[in-house]
């Protein structure tokens, strides 16, 4: 939780010079009292100004109400209590700065009946005190363009939507821009009283804490004109949904939304991170969307309600105690409704449910990683179609034309995965590691895997594995990577590499979940970079994180690690264990003096190219086993 500290007083100071006796008479003759008089006038002006609550277009006003009635550029001068509803009829930008408005009025203190209204804040914001049980929130808006840019907003209300947008007889269009706000409340945060014809805007870099729903979008238009983009926003809801989209187009990326299920009462369908209805179109590019509940038939990552809609998932992580994804339709209430979820990537924990048996709901999976699949997903009446992806259960019965699909199974540490479709199979084989077992089921004639992987051919034809022909029913274990020395082999673990296209950093991690997570939020998954030893055989490699630059650093030198931690880097402990043997394969380290980035690679040619571009060659960082392909 971000803390907001409000300034309690302002102080001014004056520096006094001491004149040398040698020049005393000359300075006395030339002494000009203008600067002193000016300082006194400015000080008196500040003292006078402190008696005022706000300015509007540079003019001071005794009360905030007077300033808002004047409109224009309104700036708060101190903490203010609002005890009555203020109607705003002129386009206004309200700059709170570092000050706070306390709402003692009934309902919402600001009723805005003008086309444009903006709230700006640094450390300031608005609060509802516990003593005001009749407050509904902060802003009732009847206009076109509402912006909330920064600030901290808190307080409880039994008749929520802290910021409520409304249509009028002459205006059915709305635009909302929200950036960098932090909210703590027990009810809705942003929503509508009435349905808009067209509605667009963005919500970004925010933090929401609420008992119920955070965002509600209600719009008739489903064209690109009505598009709302929500990104890099954290939300915690006790009940949910975090967002309810009724119509329009919504794009979600890099959000982190959690429904905890710690709320008594309300409808079971509300326990979802993303709720969709009334033919809304939602695209989810990345982020985390989780909803949990201890009760049956509750907890969904994404839920299309019975009024229908479309959700396209490109990436992200999704979790629900009942289902990660659910699509419903009620043709009795909504005779033209259809519900469609299309998955092209991401990580999912929980069943896939589209089981209302109307024929108008469907979940289509083209790619992705799925865990927690049960017989509910495989039920005959469940309209789920699998065209690709990796699953912890055999989903062939949900795969149309299964005989034409590329299929393999991969077993790692006694965990069996079923992989369907050429793109998913190729990706899964690329990320196999020594010790994995691969079964080639059908429609594959050639594979390439790292050394140390066991491959069994269960097809009716020969399969080429790393250039070696493997007959029907035969098994081959590709040559295992060696740590060097006498050809002996040890158990090795893969270190994955991912690339951040935004800041140019490569992340190296032994944690496959971390690797998949960063890939789900926009990093490029580059597969296995090198191998790590077991602790008993290796040397500790430390990882630290710079919260200012967002970069990681890796080092064998514990003193270097401790120095960086002392300077403010975060200690992320031992990243993995490297080889102690001098004959093991080297991992080179190069340094970019322009952005402070380090890069690690086993590829000498890659290292040399970077050095030719101006990176500094820092030699061998550590040693590891080569990855044989």
For the stretch 123-138, pLDDT in tens is 999 999 999 988 999 9
Range ranked top by mean pLDDT from 8-17, 193-202, 340-349:
340-349
Q: What is the mean pLDDT of the chain?
A: 85
**CA 112 to the chain's CA centroid:** 32
pLDDT the model gives residue 425: 94
Per-residue pLDDT, averaged over 57-73, amounts to: 95
pLDDT the model gives residue 488: 38
Q: Is the pLDDT of residue 194 over 60?
A: yes
Per-residue pLDDT, averaged over 46-55, amounts to: 72
Q: Is the pLDDT of residue 3 over 70?
A: no
Calpha distance 230→200 (Å, rounded): 11
Q: pLDDT-based confidence at 539, cuts 50/70/90?
A: confident
pLDDT the model gives residue 595: 78
Q: Is the pLDDT of residue 20 over 80?
A: no
Calpha distance 33→19 (Å, rounded): 15
Residue of higher predicted confidence among 152 and 265 = 152
236-258 residue pLDDT tens: 999 889 999 999 999 999 999 99
Please enumerate, as own/partner, the contacts of 127-130 that have beta carbons within 8 Å and a separation of 24 or more.
127/100, 127/101, 127/102, 127/103, 127/153, 127/154, 127/155, 128/102, 128/103, 128/154, 128/155, 128/156, 128/157, 129/102, 129/103, 129/104, 129/155, 130/156
Half-sphere exposure of 489 (CA within 13 A, CB side): 14
pLDDT the model gives residue 29: 40
Lowest model confidence (mean pLDDT) among 48-52, 106-110, 269-273, 574-578:
48-52
Calpha distance 521→286 (Å, rounded): 5
The backbone torsions φ and ψ at residue 627, rounded to the nearest 5 degrees and listed phi first, read -100, 115
pLDDT the model gives residue 52: 93
277-314 residue pLDDT tens: 999 999 999 999 999 887 778 899 999 999 999 999 99
Lowest model confidence (mean pLDDT) among 59-63, 371-375, 532-536:
532-536
Query: What's the first-to-final CA gap in the chain, in angstroms?
Result: 46
Q: Following CA atoms 60, 61, 66, 71 in sequence, which dihedral angle do they give, to the nearest 10 degrees? A: 10
- Residue 489 tokens read as 């082999």
Q: pLDDT-based confidence at 417, cuts 50/70/90?
A: very high
370-398 residue pLDDT tens: 999 999 999 989 999 999 999 999 999 99
Per-residue pLDDT, averaged over 606-611, amounts to: 86
Per-residue pLDDT, averaged over 356-379, amounts to: 92
255-267 residue pLDDT tens: 999 998 888 777 7
- List, as one string, the DSSP characters of 572-601: EEEEEEEE--TTSEEEEEEEETTTTEEEEE
Secondary structure, 3-state, 548-560: CCCCEEEECCHHH
Calpha distance 540→520 (Å, rounded): 28
Range ranked top by mean pLDDT from 29-43, 310-324, 347-361, 564-578:
310-324
548-602 residue pLDDT tens: 888 888 888 888 888 888 888 899 988 888 877 766 778 888 888 887 788 888 7
pLDDT the model gives residue 84: 94
Q: Is the pLDDT of residue 423 over 60?
A: yes
Lowest model confidence (mean pLDDT) among 412-416, 479-483, 614-618:
479-483
Per-residue pLDDT, averaged over 85-91, amounts to: 96
Calpha distance 282→255 (Å, rounded): 14
DSSP label of 535: G
User: What is the three-class DSSP state of 69?
Assistant: helix
Per-residue pLDDT, averaged over 85-105, amounts to: 96
- Residue 451 tokens read as 């050394």
Cβ-proximal residues to 415 (8 Å cutoff; 6+ apart), any chain? 392
Lowest model confidence (mean pLDDT) among 12-21, 262-271, 327-336, 453-462:
12-21
Q: Tell me how many helices (H) and strands (E) the chain has.
A: 8, 50
Per-residue pLDDT, averaged over 197-215, amounts to: 94
pLDDT the model gives residue 503: 81
503-515 residue pLDDT tens: 888 899 988 888 8
pLDDT the model gives residue 304: 95
**pLDDT > 90 in the chain, percent:** 52
Q: pLDDT-based confidence at 50, cuts 50/70/90?
A: low
Place of tokens 């691969």: 438
Per-residue pLDDT, averaged over 159-165, amounts to: 89
pLDDT the model gives residue 536: 65
Helix ranges restricted to H, 59-187: 64-70
Q: pLDDT-based confidence at 181, cuts 50/70/90?
A: very high
Q: Is the pLDDT of residue 12 over 80?
A: no
DSSP label of 26: H
624 forms bridges with which residues in the sheet? Answer: 585
pLDDT the model gives residue 43: 47
pLDDT the model gives residue 149: 97
Q: How many CB atoms lie within 10 A of CB 7?
A: 13
pLDDT the model gives residue 38: 58
pLDDT the model gives residue 480: 56
Calpha distance 70→88 (Å, rounded): 9
Residue of higher predicted confidence among 613 and 36 = 613
**pLDDT > 70 in the chain, percent:** 88
Q: How many CB atoms lie within 10 A of CB 521?
A: 19
Q: Is the pLDDT of residue 357 over 90?
A: no
Range ranked top by mean pLDDT from 12-16, 21-25, 422-426, 433-437:
422-426
Per-residue pLDDT, averaged over 472-500, amounts to: 67
pLDDT the model gives residue 535: 67
Cβ-proximal residues to 272 (8 Å cutoff; 6+ apart), any chain? 240, 241, 259, 291, 299, 300, 301, 302, 303, 320, 326
């Amino acid at each position: 939780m971000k803390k907001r500290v409000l300034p309690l007083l302002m102080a001014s100071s004056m520096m006094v010079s001491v004149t040398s006796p040698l020049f005393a008479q000359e300075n006395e003759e030339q002494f000009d009292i203008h600067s002193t008089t000016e300082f006194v006038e400015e000080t008196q002006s500040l003292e006078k100004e402190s008696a005022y609550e706000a300015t509007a277009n540079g003019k001071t006003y005794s009360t905030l109400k007077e300033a808002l009635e004047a409109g224009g550029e309104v700036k708060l001068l101190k903490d203010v209590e609002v005890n009555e509803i203020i109607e705003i009829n002129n386009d206004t930008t309200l700059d709170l700065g570092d000050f706070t408005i306390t709402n003692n009025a009934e309902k919402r203190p600001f009723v805005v009946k003008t086309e444009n209204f903006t709230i700006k804040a640094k450390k300031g914001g608005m609060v509802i005190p516990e003593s005001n049980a009749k407050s509904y929130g902060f802003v009732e808006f009847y206009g076109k363009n509402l912006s909330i840019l920064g600030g901290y907003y808190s307080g409880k209300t039994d008749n929520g939507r802290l910021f409520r947008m409304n249509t009028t007889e002459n205006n059915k269009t709305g635009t909302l821009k929200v950036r960098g706000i932090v909210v703590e409340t027990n009810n809705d945060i942003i929503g509508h009283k009435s349905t808009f014809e067209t509605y667009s805007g963005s919500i970004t870099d925010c933090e929401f804490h609420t008992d119920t729903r955070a965002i509600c979008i209600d719009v008739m238009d489903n064209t690109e004109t009505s598009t709302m983009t929500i990104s890099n926003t954290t939300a915690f809801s006790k009940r949910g949904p975090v967002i309810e989209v009724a119509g329009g187009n919504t794009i979600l990326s890099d959000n982190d939304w959690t429904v905890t299920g710690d709320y008594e009462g309300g409808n079971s369908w509300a326990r979802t991170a993303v709720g969709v209805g009334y033919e809304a179109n939602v695209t989810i590019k990345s982020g985390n969307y989780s909803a949990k509940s201890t009760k049956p038939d509750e907890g969904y990552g994404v839920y299309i309600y019975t009024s229908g809609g479309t959700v396209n998932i490109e990436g992200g992580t999704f979790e629900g105690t009942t289902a990660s994804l659910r699509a419903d339709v009620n043709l009795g209430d909504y005779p033209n409704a259809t519900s469609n979820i299309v998955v092209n990537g991401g990580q999912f924990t929980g069943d896939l449910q589209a089981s209302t048996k109307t024929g108008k709901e469907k979940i289509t999976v083209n790619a992705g990683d799925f865990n927690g699949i049960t017989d509910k997903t495989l039920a005959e009446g469940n309209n789920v179609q699998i065209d690709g992806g990796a699953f912890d259960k055999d989903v062939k019965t949900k795969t149309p034309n299964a005989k034409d699909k590329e299929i393999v199974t991969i077993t790692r540490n006694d965990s069996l995965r079923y992989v369907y479709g050429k793109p998913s199979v190729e990706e899964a084989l690329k990320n196999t590691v020594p010790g994995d077992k691969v079964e080639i089921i059908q429609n594959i004639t050639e594979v390439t895997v790292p050394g140390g992987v066991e491959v069994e051919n269960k097809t009716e034809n020969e399969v080429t594995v790393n250039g070696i022909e493997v007959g029907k029913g035969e098994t081959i274990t590709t040559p295992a990577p060696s740590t060097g020395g006498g050809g002996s082999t040890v158990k090795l673990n893969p270190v994955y590499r991912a690339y951040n296209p935004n800041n140019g950093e490569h992340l190296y991690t032994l944690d496959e979940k971390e690797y998949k997570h960063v890939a789900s939020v926009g990093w490029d998954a580059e597969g296995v970079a090198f191998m790590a030893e077991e602790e008993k055989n290796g040397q500790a490699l430390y990882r630290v994180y710079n919260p200012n630059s967002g970069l990681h650093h890796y080092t064998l030198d514990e003193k270097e690690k401790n120095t960086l931690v002392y300077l403010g880097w975060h200690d992320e402990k031992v990243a993995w264990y490297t080889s102690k043997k001098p004959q093991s394969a080297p991992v080179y380290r190069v340094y970019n003096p322009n952005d402070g980035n380090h890069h690690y690679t086993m590829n000498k040619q890659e290292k040399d190219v970077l050095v030719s571009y101006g990176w500094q060659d820092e030699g061998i960082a550590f040693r590891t086993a080569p990855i044989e392909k």
